[in-house]
């Protein structure tokens, strides 16, 4: 459709340039072209939503965990969830149409929930704690809750598979694939990365940076107050 529209538009542009000035404003339209434009807009929306999800979840993880390494692990895991879910839907024979784009844009946010919870739990132990102990703590204290959330969402998606409205069946299948890969990504990819390469002091770099900034700010304020007092004297 894109190739056909461009060839038609090129031909019409040539006709406009050769037509008299009184009749050189003609244009072409079609219901098929409107549908094509809508699908292209939805595709761009889906891609934009994926980028927004990865970008904002990265910012949230960075602010919550105060650890660049945990943020990197989360970004890798979220990217896996999005790629694996998309690949699964392609394996089912789906094309990215109107309904698929809407469902995809809605469910992208689900892909980042589990890793954010695991990152918060990994960061909870205070002081210098080994990466293995932090990972174990995250699995024990947050793992059951994440599995329960995955189970309830999975059950709701299975119930929607028996709906008669096409949107709900498509939504259910995307939800199933998203939850499945989010669970795999968080329990396998994220926890393996944190257990293998995770920091023993996740917030050390961030805390040192904040402390230095505070010292500089406090130092400048101290110099300013001293100058004001000297001026008064």
Instruction: For residue 87, tell me if it sits in a domain.
Output: yes
Closest Cα to residue 82, out of 47, 37, 116, 58?
47
Cβ-contact 144, 215 below 8 angstroms = no
What pLDDT does 233 receive? Answer: 43
* Most confident by average pLDDT, 37-41, 97-101, 106-110: 37-41
Pair of tokens at residue 178: 């998203």
Pair of tokens at residue 21: 């000035």
Q: What is the dihedral of CA 205, 206, 208, 214, to 10 degrees?
A: 160
C-alpha to C-alpha distance for 56 and 111, rounded to whole angstroms: 12
Instruction: For residue 229, tell me if it sits in a domain.
Output: no
pLDDT band at 228 (very low <50, low <70, confident <90, very high): very low
- CATH number of the domain encompassing residue 41: 1.20.1640.10
Kindly tell me if the per-residue pLDDT of 105 is higher than 70.
no
Instruction: For residue 44, tell me if it sits in a domain.
Output: yes
Q: Give the count of domains, the chain.
A: 1
What pLDDT does 159 receive? Answer: 92
Instruction: For residue 226, tell me if it sits in a domain.
Output: no
Instruction: For residue 218, tell me if it sits in a domain.
Output: no
pTM of model > 0.85: no
45 burial level (CB within 10 Å; 0-12, 13-18, 19+): middle
166: containing domain: 2-19+36-202
Q: State the sign of the Cα–Cα–Cα–Cα dihedral 140, 131, 57, 64.
A: positive
């Amino acid at each position: 459709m894109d190739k056909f529209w461009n060839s038609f538009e090129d031909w019409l542009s040539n006709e406009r340039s050769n037509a008299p000035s009184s009749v050189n404003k003609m244009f072409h339209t079609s219901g098929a072209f409107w549908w094509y434009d809508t699908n292209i807009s939805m595709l761009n929306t889906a891609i934009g939503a994926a980028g927004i999800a990865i970008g904002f979840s990265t910012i949230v993880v960075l602010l919550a965990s105060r650890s660049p390494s945990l943020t990197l692990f989360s970004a890798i895991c979220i990217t896996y969830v999005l790629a694996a879910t998309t690949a699964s839907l392609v394996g089912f024979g789906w094309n990215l149409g109107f309904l698929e784009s809407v469902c995809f844009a809605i469910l992208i946010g689900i892909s980042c929930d589990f890793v954010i919870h695991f990152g918060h739990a990994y960061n909870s132990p205070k002081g210098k704690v080994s990466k293995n102990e932090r990972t174990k703590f995250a699995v024990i204290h947050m793992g059951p809750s994440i599995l329960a959330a995955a189970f309830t969402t999975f059950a709701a998606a299975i119930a929607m598979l028996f709906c008669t409205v096409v949107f709900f069946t498509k939504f259910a299948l995307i939800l199933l694939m998203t939850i499945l890969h989010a669970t795999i990504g968080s329990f396998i990819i994220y926890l393996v990365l944190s257990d293998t390469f995770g920091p023993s002091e996740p917030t050390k770099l961030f805390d040192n940076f904040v402390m230095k900034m505070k010292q500089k700010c406090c130092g400048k304020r101290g110099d300013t107050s001293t100058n004001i007092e000297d001026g008064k004297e």
